[in-house]
Amino acid sequence: LRAVLRRSHPAPASSQMELGDLCFSPMRGVVTINQHDITLTVSESRILEALLRQPGEPLDKQELAQLALGRKLTLYDRSLDMHVSNLRKKIGPHPDGRPRIVALRSRGYFYSA
């Protein structure tokens, strides 16, 4: 019951989220990595914010689509995958080469801390 209530009333966006070398400002939609600002689209910002709220923990594709796109995914809908792909290209890998956003086949995504 608490999980359902938490999802229906998400926590307000914080002014800044930091994890490792990544600093994200959800209100501005800007990621800073190594003093380099990267502007994100609204959907990319929502995806990154959702993933950063629980780093290392998988987020289901349907839940992520609802949070980021405001709708459920249909059977052959690849829009979420495309937004994640674009986000991955923009923010790149960790300094050690590991991907920042990891896909779990047919399940979802997580941010690798």
| Higher-pLDDT residue of 82, 8 | 82
Torsion angles phi and psi, residue 83, rounded to 5: -65, -40
Which is nearest to 48 in space by CA: 8, 13, 7, 6? 13
Higher pLDDT, 9 or 80: 80
Q: How confident is the model at residue 113 (pLDDT cuts 50, 70, 90)?
A: confident
For 47-104, how does the pLDDT look when each residue is reduced to its tens digit (9 = 90+)?
999 999 999 999 999 999 999 999 999 889 999 999 999 999 999 999 999 999 999 9
Q: How far apart are CA 69 and CA 101, in angstroms?
A: 18
Pick the CATH number of 2-111 from 3.30.300.30, 2.30.130.10, 1.10.10.10, 3.40.50.300: 1.10.10.10
> What backbone phi and psi angles, to 5 degrees, belong to 68?
-85, -40
Which pLDDT score, from 0 to 100, does residue 107 have?
A: 87
Half-sphere exposure of 10 (CA within 13 A, CB side): 12
**pTM score of the predicted model:** 0.84
3: pLDDT confidence band, cut at 50, 70 and 90? Answer: low
